[in-house]
Amino acid sequence: MSKISRRDLLQYIGAGGIGAVGGVLYGEGVQRKVELLIPQVIPPEDYSPGVATWYNTVCNQCSAGCGITVRIREGKAKKIEGNPVHPISQGRTCARGQAGLNALYNPDRIRTPMQNVGQTGAGRFVEISWDEALTTVGSRISRLKIEGKANSVRLLSGQVRGHLDELFAQFMDLLGSEHYQQYDFTYPGTIRAANRISFGVEQLPYYDIKNADFLLSFGADYLGTWLSPVHHSLAYGHLRQGRAGQRGKTVQIEPRMSLSGASADEWIPARPGTEGLLALGIANAIVGAGRYLGSDRDQWSVALEAYSPSVVSGKTDVSEDIIVRIAKEFSDNKSSLAIAGGAAAAGTNAVATVVAVNALNYLVGNLNQPGGVIFNSNSAFSTMPSSNQASFQEMLDLVDAMESGEVEVLLVNDTNPVFALPDHVGFRRAMEKVALVVALSTFHDETTQMADLILPTSTYLESWGDDAPDPGVGFPVASISQPVIAKLYDAIPVGDIVLSMARQIGGELPVSMHWSSMEEFIKDRWREEYVSRASDGEDQDFESFWRAALEAGVWGQPGAIDSDPSVPSSASIIASIADPESKFAGNESDYAFVLHPYLTATFLDGRGANLPWLQEMPDPMTSVVYGSWAELNPVTADEMGIREGDILDIESPAGSIRVPALIFPAIRPGVVAIPIGQGHAEYGRYAKDRGVNPINIVAPLMDDQTGDLAWAATRVKVKATGERLHIIKTGGVSRTLGRQILGPSNDHS
Amino acid sequence: MSTIVEKFRQYRKPGYYEKYDYHWAMTIDLDRCTGCEACMVACQAENNIPIVGEEQYAMNREIQWIRIERYWEGEYPNIKMNFMPMLCQQCDDAPCETACPVFATYHNQDGLNTQIYNRCIGTRTCAVYCPYEVRYFNWFTYTWDEPLEQQLNPDVSVREKGIMEKCTFCIQRIRIAKDLAKDDDRRRVRDGEVIPACVQSCPTEALIFGNSNDPEAKVTKMMNNHRGYKVLEELNTTPSIVYLTKAHS
């Protein structure tokens, strides 16, 4: 026997030689992957044991688009921090952003493509290969395309921005289908629509909280869940203590105290659904007291005539004194800013409410001023398709289309409509009528459960992409999302799946969508942007720009405010003022309580519920973990004889849920608040069968103008069932009991 | 034993830490803190804090090196919420240190109250002595569902059943910064070179960390703010954390 040196042996093993020979002899296909006996004799680039490397990318836990930087050691992601040079996050993160690693290394990730072999919804999935999966989808779609039925292919995605959005649009366009839509429960559609009506621009402006002296928030939990919480928190810190000798004041108007309400100087629990009226009452007081000096003062007076503080006081249950005082403070401060969101922008009057709040901003002249509403310039990307966000009405239309058999193929990417729409909408049932439901998802949730085919997608930490944050920061910003570690399992980033599908379908698709990978596509698009922006004499070296942009994770043009700095005319704002009082489902005599579902800083709309760090993170206001609860005012609860932990039956005209009671001192009597996020029937071990989903009992009322779900416009009845449940809280004593632990001068309890 | 006791007495004399290069300290501005709990999750990620699970949580066996305490003030509708981040105060005269029968918790020359996991025998005495209730006990050897363990920070030990643990001011980050300073031939790390995980994540910049022996450090200046106070100061624990009380407009 010839001598085999150690090096040769390693080479054999390295090439899988010995195993392969054995395999051939016994006539078995050796399926095992080649594994190196001594891994990484030649270490990959950027890999030295014990030394951490950092990669910049974009967080995808909500739609704010914070830049993050991820610490990598030995090829594993160890920690997420904010990207210090990113204008949105400025080196900071929120709890959800931190928990991104729980998504990456989640034990419940889908690891291979799967096919449903049982009845739809029964969850009998078997593993299949990518070839098989893509062939199934590709052949089905190309047949429909040939038959001229491309419109029966629908793509429903979660909120996607940047060039992935363009890729989706292009894919559906080339296919010949007009049905590419996005659905995100948190999408601020009503705010955008209101801004179009008031200001003529359908966008999210930059609300300059940082430089405001007086912030008046109508239901917008800007510190917890609204639009861009990390950026707003940075701004809030500055508003409070960032300017020597000047401390900004904040006022929060909402029926149930949110994180932002807890931090506010003044918390005003106005009657739910009347927030817009209150805004108009304040506007009336501003104009009436001669605090508005515009030449069209008289027109304003006429438009606001019906909203005198005394009338508004009766409807909103906010005293006249407070309305007049807020009006005075709002117009006296140098930079005052009013914002609206949350439940105030989720009634049947949502758009009218935001329009009323916009009027306040106009009256104090803060448009395009520091500390006011600053309109965002055009997006950093020039070729963006317009928003495809589906309203609730359009989701109902989709359900109808599915029910009537119009939909042959439904592609669902990273959205969970079965959870985020009320049960009675029947999305789940309608999915059964669709011949082929393809779920592109990282996790197995209620929607993938109904799929015929599951294509596992990689997380944002393993994918290429880019983003133009919305709302922006007043100047063009674009971020690059890059894989920070090698991708895990047999999952593929969604952009690459779309490109593969295009190749599979054939025809003109692979010709127009010729990129071999998402990386190539993104780079190609950035090159185009770079070339189109580079002016004469500027450095034309794209490669070095690209490297620099990748390293920084973000590109921006501070100072390049190319939007129209002129202020919209008041005539359109005056004309747009409509009576902003919300209607409610259910009459007051039968349904005594207003249901106040709210997005939580922990799970947002439920997407964070599968992350164990977030399940163990106490709810910021109540310290509850691992479950759902219904908040009641202490006096109300006392009158009804309800104690903490009593299981309540909460019934709306649309359905009922059972949830334990929690006595919450900062909620309006007659309101019952239930956090959104728990109540998953699927979604992995940490989320499954835990708590309830209040969206299920939301009645199908919509905002009059946008057709968005009015999720804060449902009345309910509340009764105790007699059963009890132990609510898990981090507990502790909720009063300082004179211990002066909040500071010597700040203890009044 | 006698030498240990002698050293122990020595470092409890006032002014002991001023002789050394560092005295790590933190300020927490309650006027900036919004109670968002980003610090809590950041700490959990950085310091390999286990996920104890619902059942253990229900028995109050959670581990949170930093937590947010909530204090209500008043009644509806004139009600206010006050958040207060609470973590080990790194007391110069720490009651926990005198209590430990095996000297598993001691004070180091940087002014840190340090826990030696290998020495701890789990009597839990320190937790009883701590007036801030920031010491946490491992009732079990907690595990991570595969592959969550891949996230674990290699710079921090994973603790086992029977061990007390608490905030270290991210001592591993201090260690790294000191090493880098040494490589650079600098005697001290610069202000801002050490940032604990909670401070780094805090989106309102409520937390500031640094060396209070350096009169120019940001933290030293903040500690002298007129709003500054120490929690339960009357117990003479001499905390290294200064809170800045909420201001009013």
How many domains does chain A contain in total? 5
φ, ψ for residue A135 (rounded to 5)?
-65, -45
A107–B243 CB contact, under 8 Å: no
Nearest to A59 by CA among A22, A23, A34, A92: A92
Model pTM?
0.92
The CATH number that applies at residue A339 is: 3.40.228.10
User: CA A488 to CA A442: how far, in whole Å?
Assistant: 11
Judge if A296 and A356 occupy the same domain: yes
Best residue in A105, A239, A459 for a mutation probing chain B (most B CBs within 10 Å):
A105
| Residue A121: per-residue pLDDT | 86
Which domains are present in chain B? 2-244 (3.30.70.20)
What integer pLDDT is reported at residue A12 of this predicted model?
35
The arithmetic mean of pLDDT across residues A671-688, rounded, is: 96
A404 inside domain: yes
Which of A236, A626, A633 comes nearest B54 by C-beta? Answer: A626
Are residues A409 and A237 in contact, defined by beta-carbon separation less than 8 angstroms?
no
Report residue B82 as tokens. Answer: 């006050």
List chain B residues with CB under 8 Å of A224.
36
Classified as helix, coil or strand, A184 is coil
B241-244: strand order across its sheet: B207-211, B24-29, B241-244, B228-229
Residue-level pLDDT at B164: 97
Q: What is the pLDDT of residue A702?
A: 95
- Are both A358 and A408 inside the same structural domain? no
Chain B residues inside the 8 Å CB shell of A666: 72, 76, 79, 81
Which whole-number Å values give the CA distances from A185 to A63, A382, A389, A601, A654, in the listed order?
11, 27, 10, 15, 19
The percentage of residues in chain A with a pLDDT greater than 70, rounded to a whole number, is 91
- Answer whether B79 sits within 8 Å of A749, measured CB to CB: no
For residue A217, what are the β-bridge partners?
Answer: A252, A339
Q: Are residues A228 and A139 in the same domain?
A: no
Q: Are residues A176 and A252 in the same domain?
A: no
Write out A617-637 in H/E/C secondary structure: CCCCCCCECCCCCEEECHHHH
Contact of A613 with chain B, judged by CB distance below 8 Å, is answered with: yes
- B chain contacts of residue A74, beta-carbon cutoff 8 Å: 154
User: What are the pLDDT digits (tens) for A578-634?
Assistant: 888 889 999 999 999 999 999 999 999 999 999 999 999 999 999 999 999 999 999
pLDDT the model gives residue A295? 87
Give residues with Cβ within 8 angstroms of A226, minimum separation 6: A220, A232, A260, A339, A341, A342
Question: In A147-258, which ranges are continuous DSSP H helix?
Answer: 162-175, 189-199, 229-241
**Is A235 part of any domain?**
yes
Question: Would you tell me how many other CB atoms lie within 10 Å of the CB of residue B20?
Answer: 12
Using CB atoms within 10 Å of the CB of residue A451, give its burial: 0 to 12 exposed, 13 to 18 middle, 19+ buried: buried
Q: Is the pLDDT of residue A480 over 50?
A: yes
Determine the average pLDDT of the residues in A681-702.
Answer: 96
Q: Given an 8 Å threshold on Cβ–Cβ distance, is B34 in contact with A259?
A: yes
Confidence at A23, pLDDT banded by 50, 70, 90: very low
Is A540 part of any domain?
A: no
Cβ contacts of B105 within 8 Å, gap of 6 or more: B94, B96, B97, B113, B114, B115, B116, B120, B126, B164
| ipTM field | 0.95
Whole-angstrom Cα distance, residue A708 to residue B52? 40
Tokens standing for residue B45: 């990620």
Give the whole-angstrom CA distance, residue A446 versus residue A443. 10
Task: Kindly report the three-state secondary structure assignment for every residue of B44-66.
Answer: HHHCCCCCCCHHHHHCCCCCCCE
Looking at the complex, report in whole angstroms how far the Cα of residue A87 sits from the nearest Cα belonging to chain B.
Answer: 13
Mean pLDDT computed over A157-171: 94
CB atoms < 10 A from the CB of A625, how many? 20
Which of the two residues, A542 and A32, has the higher pLDDT score? Answer: A542
3-state SS assignment for residue A461: helix
Around Cβ B238, how many Cβ atoms within 10 Å? 16
Instruction: Write the single-letter amino acid at B145.
Output: D
Last residue of a domain, one of A517, A533, A563: A517
Query: Given B69, B203, B231, which is nearest A234 (Cβ)?
Result: B203
Residue A317 CA: distances (Å) to CA of A65, A123, A221, A701: 38, 50, 21, 24
Write out pLDDT tens, residues A227-265.
Answer: 999 999 999 999 999 998 899 999 999 999 999 999 999
Residue A643 lies in a domain: yes
The verdict on A13 and A124 lying in the same domain is no
Measure CB to CB from residue A249 to each of B32, B153, B249 and give the nearest one. Answer: B249
Task: Go through A336-359 and write b for each residue having 16 or more CB atoms within 10 A of its CB, e for each that does not.
Answer: bbbbbbbbbbbbbbbbbbbbbbbb
Q: How far is B222 from chain A (nearest CA, A)?
A: 12
> Quick one: which of A362, A372, A86, A365 has its CA closest to A248?
A372
Verify that A153 and A127 share a domain, yes or no.
Answer: yes
Q: Would you say residue A398 lies in a domain?
A: yes
Q: Which amino acid is at A515?
A: W
Q: At what angle do helices A518-533 and A542-552 cross, to 10 degrees?
A: 110
Tokens representing A705?
């103008």
Residue A1 pLDDT > 50: no
Q: Which of A198-207, A377-386, A627-636 has the highest mean pLDDT?
A: A627-636
Structure-model confidence comparison of residues B3 and A699, the more confident one: A699
A660 Cβ under 8 Å from any chain B Cβ? no
Spell out the residues 6+ positions from residue B4 whose beta carbon is closer than 8 angstroms to its own.
B103
Q: What is the mean pLDDT of residues A118-126?
A: 90
Domain membership flag for residue A576: no
Residues 34-63 of A with CB under 8 A from B: 50
Instruction: Tell whether A194 is covered by a domain.
Output: no
Check whether residue A35 and residue A72 sit in a common domain.
Answer: no
Which of these three, A468, A493, A517, is where a domain ends?
A: A517
Chains A, B: CB pairs < 8 Å = 227
Q: What pLDDT does A15 receive?
A: 35
CB contact under 8 A, B151 and A77: yes
Q: Which of residues 297-326 of A touch B (CB under 8 A)?
A: none
The residue-averaged pLDDT of A642-651 equals 97
- What are the tokens at A286? 């501003």
All residues of chain A having their beta carbon less than 8 Å from the beta carbon of residue B60 are 730-731
- Facing residues of A182 across strands? A157, A389
Looking at the predicted structure, is the pLDDT value of residue A28 above 80?
Answer: no
How far is the alpha carbon of A57 from chain B, nearest alpha carbon, in Å?
16
Residue among A105, A616, A743 minimizing CB distance to B151:
A105
Closest alpha carbon to B108 in B67, B197, B159, B169? B169
Q: Which residues of B touch A229 (CB under 8 A)?
A: 36, 203
Closest alpha carbon to A363 in A280, A484, A265, A268:
A280
Residues 335 through 354 of chain A touching chain B, CB cutoff 8 Å: none
Q: What is the DSSP string of A311-371?
A: HHHHHHT--HHHHHHHHHHHHHSSSEEEEE-GGGGSSTTHHHHHHHHHHHHHHTT-BTSTT
Write down the pLDDT at residue A535.
65
Residues A97 and A119 both lie in one domain: no
Provide the pLDDT confidence category of residue A475 given band limits of 50, 70 and 90. confident
Indicate whether A174 and A280 sit together in one domain.
Answer: no
Token pair belonging to A717: 């009845």
Range of the domain at A445: 114-185+382-458+485-517
For residue A568, the model assigns a pLDDT of: 73
pLDDT averaged per 10 residues in sequence order, chain B, 249 residues: 73 75 96 97 97 94 96 94 96 92 91 95 96 96 96 96 97 96 93 96 97 95 95 94 92
* Burial state string for B147-158 with b = 16 or more CB within 10 A and e = fewer than 16: ebebbbbebbeb
User: Would you call A547 an interface residue with chain B, using a CB distance cutoff of 8 Å?
Assistant: no
- Is the domain of A600 the same as that of A451? no
Minimal Cβ distance to B79: which of A666, A739, A742: A666
Least confident of A27-36, A412-421, A459-468: A27-36
The confidence band for A44, taking pLDDT boundaries of 50, 70 and 90, is low
Q: Which of A340, A374, A408 is the last residue of a domain?
A: A374
Residues of chain B contacting residue A263, judged by C-beta atoms under 8 Å apart: 34-35, 83
Residue A538 pLDDT:
59
CATH code (residue A624): 2.40.40.20
Q: How far apart are CA A209 and CA A234, in angstroms?
A: 9
| Stretch 93-122 of chain A: residues touching chain B, C-beta under 8 Å | 93-95, 97-99, 101-102, 104-107
- pLDDT, averaged across chain A: 90
Question: So what's the pLDDT on residue A43?
Answer: 63
Mutation choice for B interface testing from A111, A233, A239, A253 by most B CBs within 10 A: A233
Contact residues, chain B, for A78 at CB < 8 Å: 151-154
pLDDT exceeds 80 at position A11: no
Q: How far apart are CA A360 and CA A282, in angstroms?
A: 8
Asked if A666's CB is within 8 angstroms of B37's CB, the reply is: no
Same domain, A395 and A343: no
Secondary structure of residue A482 in the 3-state scheme = coil
CB atoms within 10 A of CB A180: 22
Same-domain check for residues A606 and A505? no
Contact A726 B73 (CB under 8 A): no
User: Which of B52, B60, B76, B180 should be substituted to probe chain A, the one whose Cβ sees the most A Cβ atoms within 10 Å?
Assistant: B76
Q: Under a CB-based contact definition with an 8 Å cutoff, are residues A438 and A446 in contact? A: no
Average the pLDDT over A285-307 and give the result: 92
**A121 within domain boundaries:** yes
- A233 and chain B: CB distance < 8 Å anywhere? yes
